[in-house]
Amino acid sequence: MTVITAEHLLTRVRDLLAAHPPADTDRADFLRARFDAGLAWVHYPEGLGGLGAPRSLQSVVDTELEAAGAPDNDPRRIGIGLGMAAPTILAYGTEEQKQRFLRPLWLGEEVWCQLFSEPGAGSDLAALGTRAVREGGSGDWIVDGQKVWTSSAHTARWAILIARTDPALPKHQGITYFLCDMHAPGVEVRPLRQITGEAEFNEVFLTGVRVPDAQRLGAVGEGWAVARTTLMNERVSIGGMRIPREGGMIAPAAAAWRERPELRTHALHQRLLELWVEAEVARLTGERLRQQLVAGQPGPEGSGMKLTFARLNQEISGLEVELLGEEGLLYDDWTMRRPEGVDFTGREAGYRYLRAKGNSIEGGTSEILLNIVAERVLGLPPEPRDDKDLAWKDLNR
């Protein structure tokens, strides 16, 4: 068995660049060649965009390609596919599903969204009520229900979907995980306008949507275990993003401090210094977490990173608005827009301040993540749950 080293990867990258010079190669053609060379996700298996290499070596590839001016796959636009759908399909998918979905997902040819939360099942996701009923003759599943807070549903081609297939079992059981065609008859997407004025979120109505059994991911009734893989990866992808020193939300706040000396006060200076240090600690902790991921799947530590991400974004953006005074809440476009991707830290200070309010809700509310950290990281006793063993159909809703 060949051991993949950094030198081996650098040779592959240079061969790719020689055969497909970025300046002279169509963007889509370059990305296809990169995937087929195993340089998309180096830790994925051969034939699925990888080489079975250590995950830690991905940065070797990314750094070399970035220095050469190679195009990326627009990760902000396809973040749900990259951070949530792909690792779940890799872990639970059949070989046919992996071959069908992973390549167009990484290339950005097919955008993904996540059909998990519901109006009555957000923090308590396992209480979901969307039903999937097996049709006798065809073996297909017929899905009916409503999902909410669905980022990118308006641009998505596919969705990861969990639905209840046996209401007689307790709520964490009787759930099955599917890959849903967002262009299928019966799928309706409606925008949800946010405090920022735009609508990157949606509510999705599923009415008699037919999902072939070949699009089921994992065993019938084991969807909660599959969904946990997705959720752990989601929290890492949100809270553990790789950023440079003084990157992310702290960057514009520090820039405003340097560029606008007339706005400075001693109290604001102290708060900025404290938040700068916290941001740097969070960044280094994220690096540590990514090193741990090399050895296996993400665990509950990702919940702690996501908690920190939300709190710091809100505190730093609040400081920046206070620093800028009456200018703080102004930004250039309040119209109803339908962005293709999520931008946590972009645009003006006023936008960042308002958008950061959602950071403590999306990807798992901070309250739920505190419970996860308490129970699974610190080993504290769990909260009493008197509905855990009740059949879902008998729950008070």
In the chain, list all ranges with CATH 2.40.110.10: 81-221
Task: Give the pLDDT confidence score for residue 303 in this predicted structure.
Answer: 76
Give the containing element (helix H, strand E) for 202. Answer: strand 201-211
Residue type, 228: R
| CATH code for the part of the protein at 227-377 | 1.20.140.10
Q: Given this model, what pLDDT does residue 367 score?
A: 86
Instruction: Give the distance, in angstroms, between the CA of residue 274 and the centroid of all CA atoms in the same chain.
Output: 28
Distant-in-sequence, close-in-space partners of 142: CB < 8 Å, separation ≥ 6: 132, 133, 135, 208, 209, 210, 211
By three-state DSSP, how is residue 335 classified? coil
Q: Which residues, listed in sequence order, are joined to residue 147 by a DSSP beta bridge?
A: 204
Separation between Cα atoms, residue 36 and residue 15, nearest integer Å = 13
The pLDDT profile of the chain, 397 residues, written as one tens digit per residue, is 578 899 999 999 999 999 999 999 999 999 999 999 999 999 999 999 999 998 889 989 999 999 999 999 999 899 999 989 999 999 999 999 999 999 999 999 999 999 999 998 877 889 999 999 999 878 899 999 999 999 999 999 999 999 999 999 999 999 999 999 999 999 999 999 988 888 888 999 999 999 999 999 999 999 999 999 898 777 666 655 667 788 889 999 999 889 888 888 899 999 999 999 999 998 888 777 766 665 555 566 677 788 888 999 999 999 999 988 888 877 776 677 787 777 777 788 888 999 999 888 877 788 888 888 888 888 899 888 777 788 888 887 7
**pTM of the full predicted structure?**
0.87
Given this model, what pLDDT does residue 65 score? 97
Residue pair 249/352 in contact (Cβ under 8 Å)? The answer is yes
The verdict on domain 81-221 having CATH code 3.50.50.60 is: no
Report the pLDDT value the prediction gives residue 297, as an integer from 0 to 100.
57
Residues 6 or more apart from 25 whose CB is under 8 A from it? 33
Non-local CB neighbours of 156 within 8 Å, separated by 6+ positions:
80, 111, 112, 113, 182
Distance of CA 272 to the CA centre of its chain: 28
CATH 1.20.140.10 segments of the chain: 227-377
By annotation, the residues acting in catalysis are 234
User: Phi and psi for 207 in degrees, rounded to 5?
Assistant: -125, 105
Per-residue pLDDT, 306: 82
Compute CA distances 76 → 106, 139, 218, 319, 386, whole Å: 12, 36, 27, 26, 40
pLDDT of 263 reads: 81
What is the pLDDT at residue 290? Answer: 65
In whole angstroms, give the CA distance from residue 113 to residue 153.
Answer: 6
Q: What is the 3-state secondary structure (H, E, C) of 203-230?
A: EEEEEEEEECHHHEECCCCEHHHHHHHH
Task: Give the pairing of strands 141-147 and 187-192.
Answer: unpaired
3-state secondary structure 110-142: CCEEEECCECCECCCHHHCCCEEEECCCCCCEE
SS (H, E, C) the chain: CCCCCHHHHHHHHHHHHHHCCHHHCCHHHHHHHHHHCCCCCCCCCECCCECCCCHHHHHHHHHHHHHCCCCCCCCCCCHHHHHHHHHHHHHHCCHHHHHHHHHHHHHCCCCEEEECCECCECCCHHHCCCEEEECCCCCCEEEEEEECCCCCCCCCCEEEEEEECCCCCECCCCEEEEEEECCCCCEEEEEECCCCCCCCEEEEEEEEEEECHHHEECCCCEHHHHHHHHHHHHHHHHHCCCCCCCCCCHHHHHHHHHHCHHHCCHHHHHHHHHHHHHHHHHHHHHHHHHHHHCCCCCCCHHHHHHHHHHHHHHHHHHHHHHHHHHHCCCCCCCCCCCCCCCCCCCCCHHHHHHHHHHHHCCCCCHHHHHHHHHHHHCCCCCCCCCCCCCEHHHCCC
- Is residue 163 within 8 Å of 131, Cβ to Cβ? yes
Distance (Å, rounded) from C-alpha 377 to C-alpha 201?
31
